[in-house]
Structure 1
């Protein structure tokens, strides 16, 4: 049996008429740049997440870059974040000549170890960039407390966390991205809410930050051909907005399907002594964007999965502090031992709403066969 790590075709064929109609409508009207579907989708995101403002941009990476610029994560100022993440979570700081300051991760959640943040704060620190990674939101209560005490800005990298909610110390759940000064989402095709191309979103509850984000995405214009800032050309494509609006209608159903698959993985693999299953900390609602395990002989398992036509991915094979692009920061091997250790064992199994129970069974069976060899 062949099991793809991800496929978009099943979802497309299930809702083909809706997708085709949404795309055709835009082509016929010819309103391709910041068309009415973008405004409609932004309002839908506001309603779903509870954010006061939502500003569509061209990608999750652009969302991080623009938000970092506005928040002052630049010109030698320091921003505390995790080394165990995608490049964009830190490159958005370095692009503006800011300095990422890494702290190690929690071995069970793979997210930033909040207990290690305060010791890194100094007079040059201007912000914290927590990453809601995989299926776990960062401990936002503690992060926001630190931000308040030290007058720091918080940019939530929720690129992988659309749909995640955190209760913390409050009486209700807060959607990822809506707790800090800015939050960002990515609509890369594999995401929980993914388009048929690139796309991103900036969310905020601050009137002035929203005004700046709307300006920065169109070259810094405050009105046509009037520029108060040097901004960016980064606008959510109208066709992608229309596709995402269709998908958003079914997002809760899709998350439930992901949760069912994740539960099945946990039940079927619970007795395998060579792997460690994911653990969630805190009162939160998971979406299972990916399903990671820590595996003994990870590379051997990966090769066996490939041989048996089971898709997988490795998020991430090398922490950022060991990447050549960040050599200038002066970190060395051993500085963040947990991130380094996790990167040698982590592997992501297939998980998407259209995956069948037979496929999940086959993945589990294949993993167990490898360790019985």
Structure 2
């Protein structure tokens, strides 16, 4: 069977084209850093932190080397005792557990909601024990977890709420008091990643911590800098975790484009919603009405999970790339077998690992390319 070809190459993410549009500004930023030779802790690092903080409504931003370091530093700032429990979702990237495990803390998994894919607050409350030190809410695929309920649970039980905001930078959440909160700024600490594929990505590795508490921001800066506030005077055991000046300079350029890129992603998602809502074989991403969605990924569920891989292979033959985030639940990863979880303990997460499929979405995806993707998905299901 001869399958149709796309009108032009369809990419999951087109960084080449995104950067081409910004090339003069990126080149100028790189040249400025080269001319200054201030490659570590140059002025662009502080400038970027201030600009991102302003974008996030006045939050303190502490740049660091990557998103996993950000999670590690966030947990370090809580000064939890060895063996303390950290509640994390069972449907997430492994770094969420990894940071806790590396610090001698114990990840405690809970299931997620079947519609938004985010951590289930009821499951969080059921998993709390006297040993619980923190809850990590992952804002998966670009939409906030239930910050209202999770914040209330954390406050009621005296445990810290950490927001893993690597996929939802720029999303907002509407609180009952009428305030609009920026993702990553509600809990004790928020974390984010500037990995190149993120909505705000650098041209290498990078990350940051977010907080509205100036004292915690000072502690995080110290922890990220070998535990020192004054050179050669180390108050704490820390990390060497820095965002280098070149990446900060490039991120300053890309931050200015982030609102427009977010709007473009949302427009792509809206077109997918309108076209795919009637395809009987899939479920389009659900929305929490209290949260905006910045669509780091546009992730459908295949209703007959047994056909998910078949759909992915069909789309690949048609020239449509897709990704599965995530094909194996974290409790099934060999590295975390020591936690003692068994198959069937987290049925929603396990189902999602077999049913989800992320379609191409990026700011420069054309209507023509998207219509081709939509047509191929529909054709597979006989629409």
Q: Please give the TM-score of this superposition, normalised by the length of structure 2.
A: 0.95
2:138 aligned counterpart, secondary structure? coil
Q: Does 1:340 align with 2:350?
A: yes
Contact 1:164/1:175 (8 A) holds in 2: yes
> Which residue does 1:250 correspond to in 2?
257
Write out per-residue CA displacement over residues 288-339 of structure 1, whole angstroms, 9 at most, x where no aligned residue. 1110000131100111111122111111111111111110000000000010
> Which residue does 1:213 correspond to in 2?
220
Q: Does 1:164 align with 2:144?
A: no
Match of 1:353 among 358, 363, 368: 363
Distance 1:318 1:170 in 2: 39
1:358 aligned counterpart, secondary structure? helix
Contact 2:280/2:381 (8 A) holds in 1: no
1:276-287 pair list within 5 angstroms: 276-287=283-294
Contact 1:187/1:199 (8 A) holds in 2: yes
Match of 2:323 among 294, 313, 316: 313
Match of 1:197 among 176, 191, 204: 204
Match of 2:23 among 16, 22, 29: 16
Write out per-residue CA displacement over residues 62-114 of structure 1, whole angstroms, 9 at most, x where no aligned residue. 10011111113551001111010001111111111111111111000001111
* Structure 2 alignment gaps of length 5 or more: 1-5
Contact 2:142/2:169 (8 A) holds in 1: no
Q: Does 1:101 align with 2:111?
A: no
Write out per-residue CA displacement over residues 194-226 of structure 1, whole angstroms, 9 at most, x where no aligned residue. 111111010112222111111111111121111
Q: Which runs of 4+ in 1 moved over 3 A?
A: none
> Which residue does 2:137 correspond to in 1?
130
* Structure 1 alignment gaps of length 5 or more: none
Match of 1:140 among 136, 139, 147: 147
Distance 2:175 2:219 in 1: 29
> Which residue does 1:291 correspond to in 2?
298
Distance 1:197 1:310 in 2: 26
Distance 1:370 1:239 in 2: 45
2:221 aligned counterpart, secondary structure? helix
CA distance 1:90–1:74, shift in 2 (3 Å): farther
Distance 1:76 1:45 in 2: 34
1:35-184 pair list within 5 angstroms: 35-73=42-80, 75-184=82-191
2:381 aligned counterpart, secondary structure? helix
Size of the aligned set, in residue pairs, is 373
Contact 1:74/1:99 (8 A) holds in 2: no
CA distance 1:159–1:73, shift in 2 (3 Å): farther
Distance 2:159 2:57 in 1: 23
Q: Please give the TM-score of this superposition, normalised by the length of structure 1.
A: 0.98
